[in-house]
């Protein structure tokens, strides 16, 4: 009897242990992993009704603009990476652009000090790209009627029950939202905060969505929505004009491709810094056998952190909008260059960021975002990451329109050489110029095994997106974890400057002590990105993982 009780207690202990396997969601036909459950359900419904992965992505993105307004948006921008079942792939860049009135030093005050206007208020917003990007994706690759895909978001805007997480998110951002009358009225109910379970209705946003359903992107960029937004900008000292909106275009780019340990990688090109970062860091890890030290070991963390440090030094100097700066992508990913960077890593000793500068690359060659990963029944795959930058963007809700505006202008180098809101130090290559797109960390990525779809992954998380996505991929490939365990495992982050190795909770005191002994300055991190991923298992079933650091959901059928 005593032995039986002991066995039961041991089983319970293993189930409760953070090291115990946690099963992902499984589906035979199609899968959606997104940052908010109601939006996930919208995507699954579209797929069940015969829609493809792009249809579902469009519907989920519009739904997130309603149910996850801290990041889901009409007033921001992002990237969509698509791999079709026939093997073709493409990348849609609908990143925000700097308004035509923008100038190099527009956010510097007396003495050259940043004023903070790139973070909060009307002047912080870049020209939104989301509606253009979603329509471009639908026009080129969608199958369901546009209005049918916008309709679920409009219905949700009539009212949905607020979750505990959403209620607390609104309350925690009250200081920002209180500064702007429309935001205070809509999201804070003029100081009477929403309680979990109460119905949250957004009539202005519903009407905007209904206009977009009828008139598409043209309505947003040239119709009533554009007119109201431009008028509000002019009245409040903002920079975006009717001309900026009318001239906005989504750009289709060729994805970056690479390989790691027998897997093919399809990822984001500039103006994302994420794809270059992912490929460069994995290139430095290839062949080192760092993984033999074991997941979450001090030796493995040390080596990966040193790889991160070197990439972020390069990022500060060489990454920017390729339409304005000749980004030396092939040289940054050249095997000899990567080997040279790898050779400077000492297994038992941390570098200092002061000594690790950007590498010598000749230029001769031509914390708020959200992500969704979708695989449909035919094997089409979408990784879509979009953002308004900080949580609830610049805090401004456009009067009569119901959506928040981004503060994406802070993703430029407001003052080259000084850190932005994420602590990133950036160079002159990413300085402000009219119509330029700011450098991004968004890293939507698709992996193949033997030419077949294997993984769809991405994340929100500011400068920590790249390292978060990297670690989930490494956990799956190098450490053999299932997708949910790979996401749940504690993560770490190093971005060169500041010279800190940030660790989430969950690493052992012995591991931390060993990292400090190697010379790392260790600091704590509440979160290193929030990853959403889908993996195709060897048996053909889909496994979906949603990050429990956030409040999303993976589901399928």
Q: CA 130, CA 239: separation in Å to the nearest integer?
A: 18
136 is an active site residue: no
Q: What share of the chain is helix, strand, coil (3-state, %, to 5)?
A: 40, 20, 45
Phi and psi of 16, rounded to 5°?
-80, -15
- The answer to whether 241 and 97 have CB atoms below 8 angstroms apart is no
Phi and psi of 361, rounded to 5°?
-115, 115
Compute the C-alpha angle 338/341/347, nearest 5°: 120
Compute the C-alpha angle 461/160/456, nearest 5°: 35
Q: CA 146, CA 51: separation in Å to the nearest integer?
A: 11
- DSSP state at residue 29: S
Q: Enumerate the H helices of 80-142 as residue ranges.
A: 130-141
Compute the C-alpha angle 513/519/520, nearest 5°: 75
Q: Are strands 89-94 and 256-260 parallel, antiparallel or unpaired?
A: unpaired
Residues contacting residue 11 through CB under 8 Å, at least 6 positions apart: none
Q: Which of 319, 328, 218 is nearest to 274 (CA)?
A: 319
Sheet strand arrangement including 251-253: 251-253, 89-94, 77-83, 381-387, 369-375, 31-34, 553-556
Query: Which residue among the candidates 369, 385, 397, 511 is catalytic per the annotation?
Result: 369
Query: Dihedral sign, CA of 110, 437, 220, 224?
Result: positive
- Whether cis (ω within 30° of 0) applies to the bond prior to 251 is no
Please count the residues of the chain: 557
Based on C-alpha coordinates, what's the Rg of the chain?
Answer: 23
Q: Which of 213, 211, 217 is nearest to 150 (CA)?
A: 213
- The answer to whether 371 and 81 have CB atoms below 8 angstroms apart is no
Q: CA 457, CA 374: separation in Å to the nearest integer?
A: 9
Q: How far is CA 497 from CA 115, 308, 325, 431, 519, in A?
A: 21, 11, 23, 18, 16
Burial status of residue 541 (CB atoms within 10 A of its CB: 0-12, 13-18, 19 or more): middle
Q: Which of 404, 406, 440 is nearest to 422 (CA)?
A: 440
Q: Which of 407, 365, 372 is nearest to 390 (CA)?
A: 407
- The answer to whether 442 and 385 have CB atoms below 8 angstroms apart is yes
| Greatest alpha-carbon span in the chain | 79
Angle between helices 203-222 and 53-67 (to 10 degrees): 130
Place of tokens 């982050």: 493
Q: What's the token pair of residue 346? A: 């000492």
- The answer to whether 464 and 369 have CB atoms below 8 angstroms apart is no
Q: Catalytic site residues? A: 369
């Amino acid at each position: 009897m005593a032995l039986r009780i002991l066995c039961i207690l041991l089983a319970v202990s293993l189930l409760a242990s953070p090291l115990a396997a946690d099963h992902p969601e499984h589906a035979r036909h199609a899968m959606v992993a997104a940052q908010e459950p109601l939006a996930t359900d919208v995507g699954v419904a579209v797929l069940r009704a015969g829609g493809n992965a792009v249809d579902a992505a469009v519907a989920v993105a519009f739904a997130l603009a309603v149910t996850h307004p801290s990041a889901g948006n009409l007033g921001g921008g992002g990237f969509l990476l698509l791999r079709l079942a026939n093997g073709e792939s493409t990348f849609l860049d609908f990143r925000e652009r700097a308004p035509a009135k923008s100038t190099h030093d527009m956010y510097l005050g007396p003495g050259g000090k940043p004023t903070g206007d790139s973070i909060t208020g009307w002047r912080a917003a870049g020209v939104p790209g989301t509606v253009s990007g979603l329509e471009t994706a639908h026009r080129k690759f969608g199958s369901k009627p546009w209005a049918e895909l916008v309709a679920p978001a409009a219905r949700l805007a009539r009212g949905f029950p607020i979750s505990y997480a959403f209620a607390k998110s609104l309350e925690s951002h009250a200081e920002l939202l209180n500064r702007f009358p429309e935001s205070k009225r809509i999201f804070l109910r003029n100081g009477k905060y929403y309680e979990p379970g109460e119905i949250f209705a957004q009539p202005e946003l519903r009407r905007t969505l209904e206009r977009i359903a009828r008139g598409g992107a043209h309505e947003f960029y040239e119709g009533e929505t554009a007119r109201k937004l431009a008028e509000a900008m002019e009245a409040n000292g903002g920079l975006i004009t009717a001309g900026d909106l009318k001239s906005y275009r989504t750009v289709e780019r060729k994805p970056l491709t690479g390989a790691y340990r027998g897997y093919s990688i399809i990822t984001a090109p500039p103006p994302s810094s994420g794809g270059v970062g992912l490929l460069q860091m994995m290139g430095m890890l290839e062949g080192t056998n760092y993984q033999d030290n074991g997941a979450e070991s001090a030796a493995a963390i040390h080596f990966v952190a040193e790889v991160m440090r070197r990439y972020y030094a390069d990022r500060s100097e060489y990454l920017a909008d390729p339409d304005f700066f000749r980004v030396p992508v092939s040289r940054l990913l050249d095997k000899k260059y990567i080997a040279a960077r790898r050779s400077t890593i000492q297994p038992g000793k941390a570098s200092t960021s002061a000594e690790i500068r950007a590498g010598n690359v000749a230029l001769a060659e031509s914390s708020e975002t959200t992500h969704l990963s979708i695989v449909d029944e035919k094997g089409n795959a979408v990784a879509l990451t979009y953002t308004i930058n900080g949580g609830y963007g610049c805090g401004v809700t456009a009067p009569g329109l119901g959506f928040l505006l981004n503060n994406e202008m802070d993703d430029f180098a407001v003052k080259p050489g000084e850190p932005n809101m994420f602590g990133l130090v950036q160079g002159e290559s990413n300085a402000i110029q009219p119509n330029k797109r700011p450098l991004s960390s968004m890293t939507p990525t698709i992996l193949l095994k033997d030419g077949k779809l294997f993984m769809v992954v991405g994340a929100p998380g500011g400068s920590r997106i790249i390292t978060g996505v990297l670690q989930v991929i490494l956990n799956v490939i190098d450490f053999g974890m299932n997708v949910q365990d790979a996401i749940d495992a504690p993560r770490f982050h190093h971005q060169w400057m500041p010279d800190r190795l940030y660790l989430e909770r969950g690493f052992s005191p012995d591991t931390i002590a060993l990292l400090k002994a190697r010379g790392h300055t260790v600091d704590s991190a509440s979160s290193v990105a929030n990853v959403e991923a889908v993996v195709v298992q060897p048996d053909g079933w889909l496994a979906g993982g949603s990050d429990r650091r956030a409040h999303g959901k993976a589901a399928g059928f």
